[in-house]
A and B are shown apart, each in its own frame.
Chain A
């Protein structure tokens, strides 16, 4: 029972901190918030690649860092405390893990280096209009035709499909058995004829969501990852990775810090909001839960470090982490008071009033989705009930 950092850990932390201070300039930060987001995040990821830190969770032989669990934890903590966004997960976290675990040598040697260098933008084609929580009921059909599959159907809620070079999809290759059988995991080049991307504007007034239509899209059979009909196993492994990422414990810590900074500047009839007892109690409640969640995460990491795979306990992290994210987003919105509703225009937000308010509104509105995506929190509770508590 010990979480003290060793001398090497502390040296490592200083190294990470030093790099972030130097590389993550206000200029980079500003670009990431602009309409230039895609190029900005790709450029940032390329910097991490040059530093050799782009994929801490990959095995070293494929370009991972070979860090210990503690080092990974330190890295992640420093990243969020510096206000640096995590990498776009679809390539580097999701599909890469699947290719590493289930891909052919050809797939590994083609895709993995490109993912490391942020040469391809990936998106995730799981959900369909009729198949959200009940993902296994998916209907997008892939029929064998010689060396190819022909795909027909539609995916929805596909984040950043408008930027994507590739989409990893779950498709139905067999209808005869149980719905979990007959699903295949396949990689599709977004430039292929017959793919159409329709934008969906979300309640944060941004365009990140899309519907992706497939009309007789021809994809080489060699793009299947794992065995044909065994895509469900592949998909589930990926979801566990996705969930641990969504918890965002370190990001919540950073949010608490931001709240304290902002609330110290905000006054109510001459009294600092940060000194208001009602406000203090709410923030303290968040911090108490967050302290516990940090150690829940460490326990999960320790299990993983000992060779375990993130399993049902990743559901716990996802539920509690997203609840805390939403609680901090809500508090920040409240600090913004009247300004919380300001929509972005050409006007300088500083000239209007609160600089942080537009960001607060956006992350609050988008943040509603954290309890929906990656398997909704209700579905996570069903998973815990079934696999942890043994209930049917």
Chain B
């Protein structure tokens, strides 16, 4: 038994932490969020040079050959800095789907470009009616000549505004809620018939609703087997949930530390408010929420590393616990900061908003509690 990080993992952690501390202070981040693009391409190049974009990919495609723990370390540290550059949509989702479903040729085509920071990607999967059911998919891809024609709409596509290429989940057969008949396609975001309505989210992300009107793609755009995309998507989403949980753990740690520090310096009634036992116990509770979240994350990491299929139940449980504990932690962080916690200027509320978006991405606690009950109580 061993919960230590390797030397390499420690180095990646330190390198991101240093970047956040030296080059990503609160004002810099604010300026980036407010800029036209809502992200910094210079930072993206830097991430490529520092090797962060290569972490989860195989060495034969220029990757670092990292495992889920390596990815977790990156996400936790990026979370601490509330880094808005689209690591999650580009590397974890777009890159993850290519790496898992792509042919050798497709991997060789796309992964080096992701790793080199030459392109930004996104995964277009949510639809207006779908909520958290990934297979609830209206968007269609119809065989036509030696390619496919895509029609439909995807909403709240993370990084939809900046992405150069999209992986689109579309139906090649079956009815709206069938689990079979789904396929993945790589689509150029600038292709004819692709229209974007872009808007900002409260956590600093830029997203888009994207419509596809008779968008033509060649057979080479099909990622994986036609009609059999759901298991692939589920597997990538499992890794993505672990990645998001890691980010959430990073953020919770920051919120707890900042709140503890604030209560030690804020005085009311002539004493530091941290001297009130009523508040001390609350901070003990949020500390425990953080540690419990971390423990369950470690369990998911250990299982996933051994065999991704082993982690299925734990991943549902993780989403439930992170949702609950994140709400608890950011709720107390705001409350214990008093009026200050309500200001847009302070970072506390921004960390809270990111946690809220993490909670809803790929299903909230309510959704995963039901999935957990289904998978573990059924037999």
A residues with CB within 8 A of B: 127, 130-134, 137, 156-157, 200-203, 205, 209, 266-270, 273, 276-279, 282, 330, 333-334, 337-343, 345, 347, 351-353, 361, 365, 368-369, 371-373, 376-378, 381-382
Given that A201-B344, A334-B366 are known contacts, is A134 also in contact with B268, CB under 8 Å in the complex?
yes
Among B177, B200, B353, B364, the residue within 8 A (CB) of A334 is: B364
Query: What are 14 contact pairs spanning A and B, CB under 8 A?
Result: A132-B338, A201-B344, A202-B343, A268-B367, A276-B370, A278-B366, A337-B131, A338-B156, A338-B360, A341-B360, A347-B199, A368-B335, A376-B338, A378-B276
> Within the complex, what minimum Cβ distance (angstroms) separates B160 from chain A?
12
Among B135, B342, B352, B370, the residue within 8 A (CB) of A202 is: B342
Decide if A368 touches B177 in the complex (CB within 8 Å): no
Decide if B339 touches A268 in the complex (CB within 8 Å): no
Q: Which of A130, A338, A345, A371 has the most CB of B within 10 A?
A: A338
Decide if B360 touches A340 in the complex (CB within 8 Å): yes
Decide if B201 touches A341 in the complex (CB within 8 Å): yes
Among B128, B135, B155, B349, the residue within 8 A (CB) of A203 is: B349
> Within the complex, what minimum Cβ distance (angstroms) separates A125 from chain B?
14
Question: Is B237 part of the binding interface, using a Cβ–Cβ cutoff of 8 Å?
Answer: no
Among A277, A338, A369, the residue within 8 A (CB) of B342 is: A369
Inter-chain CA distance A272–B135, complex, in Å, is 16
Question: Is B310 part of the binding interface, using a Cβ–Cβ cutoff of 8 Å?
Answer: no
Question: Is B209 part of the binding interface, using a Cβ–Cβ cutoff of 8 Å?
Answer: yes
Decide if A201 touches B197 in the complex (CB within 8 Å): no
- B residues 194-220 near A (Cβ < 8 Å) are 197, 199-203, 205, 209
* Set of chain A residues within 8 Å of B155, measured between Cβ atoms: 338-339, 352-353
Decide if A341 touches B202 in the complex (CB within 8 Å): yes
> Within the complex, what minimum Cβ distance (angstroms) separates A329 from chain B?
12
* Set of chain A residues within 8 Å of B201, measured between Cβ atoms: 341-343
> Within the complex, what minimum Cβ distance (angstroms) separates B118 from chain A?
28
* Set of chain A residues within 8 Å of B360, measured between Cβ atoms: 334, 337-338, 340-341
Decide if A342 touches B269 in the complex (CB within 8 Å): no
CB-nearest residue of chain B to A346: B199
Among B131, B203, B349, the residue within 8 A (CB) of A266 is: B131
Inter-chain CA distance A267–B268, complex, in Å, is 48
Counting from the closest, the 3 A-B pairs by CB-CB distance are: A269-B133, A203-B349, A341-B201
Given that A134-B269, A368-B331, A372-B335 are known contacts, is A205 also in contact with B344, CB under 8 Å in the complex?
yes
* Set of chain A residues within 8 Å of B205, measured between Cβ atoms: 341
Decide if A361 touches B202 in the complex (CB within 8 Å): yes
Among A132, A156, A343, A371, the residue within 8 A (CB) of B335 is: A371
Question: Is B341 part of the binding interface, using a Cβ–Cβ cutoff of 8 Å?
Answer: yes
Inter-chain CA distance A137–B126, complex, in Å, is 53
> Within the complex, what minimum Cβ distance (angstroms) separates B333 from chain A?
10
Decide if B338 touches A133 in the complex (CB within 8 Å): yes
Among A156, A277, A347, A378, the residue within 8 A (CB) of B339 is: A156
Decide if A201 touches B345 in the complex (CB within 8 Å): yes
- B residues 277-327 near A (Cβ < 8 Å) are 278-279, 327
Inter-chain CA distance A3–B348, complex, in Å, is 46
* Set of chain A residues within 8 Å of B352, measured between Cβ atoms: 203
Question: Is B113 part of the binding interface, using a Cβ–Cβ cutoff of 8 Å?
Answer: no
CB-nearest residue of chain A to B361: A338
Inter-chain CA distance A266–B132, complex, in Å, is 11
* Set of chain A residues within 8 Å of B278, measured between Cβ atoms: 378, 381-382
> Within the complex, what minimum Cβ distance (angstroms) separates B263 from chain A?
12
Contacts A200-B345, A341-B353 aside, 4 further interface pairs with beta carbons under 8 A come to A137-B268, A137-B270, A365-B349, A372-B338
CB-nearest residue of chain A to B199: A345
Decide if A203 touches B268 in the complex (CB within 8 Å): no
* Set of chain B residues within 8 Å of A201, measured between Cβ atoms: 343-345
Inter-chain CA distance A258–B209, complex, in Å, is 26
* Set of chain A residues within 8 Å of B209, measured between Cβ atoms: 352-353
* Set of chain B residues within 8 Å of A368, measured between Cβ atoms: 331, 334-335, 341-342
Inter-chain CA distance A383–B136, complex, in Å, is 52
* Set of chain A residues within 8 Å of B202, measured between Cβ atoms: 205, 341-343, 361, 365
Decide if B197 touches A351 in the complex (CB within 8 Å): yes
Decide if B342 touches A268 in the complex (CB within 8 Å): no
> Within the complex, what minimum Cβ distance (angstroms) separates A179 from chain B?
10
* Set of chain B residues within 8 Å of A369, measured between Cβ atoms: 339, 342
> Within the complex, what minimum Cβ distance (angstroms) separates A286 from chain B?
14
Contact flags (1/0) for B115-150 with A, using CB distance below 8 Å?
000000000001011111101100000000000000
Inter-chain CA distance A202–B205, complex, in Å, is 19
- B residues 326-372 near A (Cβ < 8 Å) are 327, 331, 334-335, 338-339, 341-345, 349, 352-353, 356-357, 360-361, 364, 366-367, 369-370
> Within the complex, what minimum Cβ distance (angstroms) separates A26 from chain B?
24
Decide if A338 touches B349 in the complex (CB within 8 Å): no
Decide if B177 touches A270 in the complex (CB within 8 Å): yes
Decide if A337 touches B132 in the complex (CB within 8 Å): yes
> Within the complex, what minimum Cβ distance (angstroms) separates A180 from chain B?
12
Inter-chain CA distance A130–B265, complex, in Å, is 12
Decide if B136 touches A276 in the complex (CB within 8 Å): no
Among A127, A203, A278, the residue within 8 A (CB) of B343 is: A203
Decide if A209 touches B136 in the complex (CB within 8 Å): no
> Within the complex, what minimum Cβ distance (angstroms) separates B355 from chain A?
11
Inter-chain CA distance A273–B279, complex, in Å, is 36
> Within the complex, what minimum Cβ distance (angstroms) separates B241 from chain A?
15
Inter-chain CA distance A270–B131, complex, in Å, is 10
Decide if B339 touches A338 in the complex (CB within 8 Å): no
> Within the complex, what minimum Cβ distance (angstroms) separates A201 from chain B?
4
Inter-chain CA distance A157–B338, complex, in Å, is 11
* Set of chain B residues within 8 Å of A277, measured between Cβ atoms: 370
> Within the complex, what minimum Cβ distance (angstroms) separates A385 from chain B?
9
Inter-chain CA distance A273–B360, complex, in Å, is 15
* Set of chain A residues within 8 Å of B136, measured between Cβ atoms: 269-270
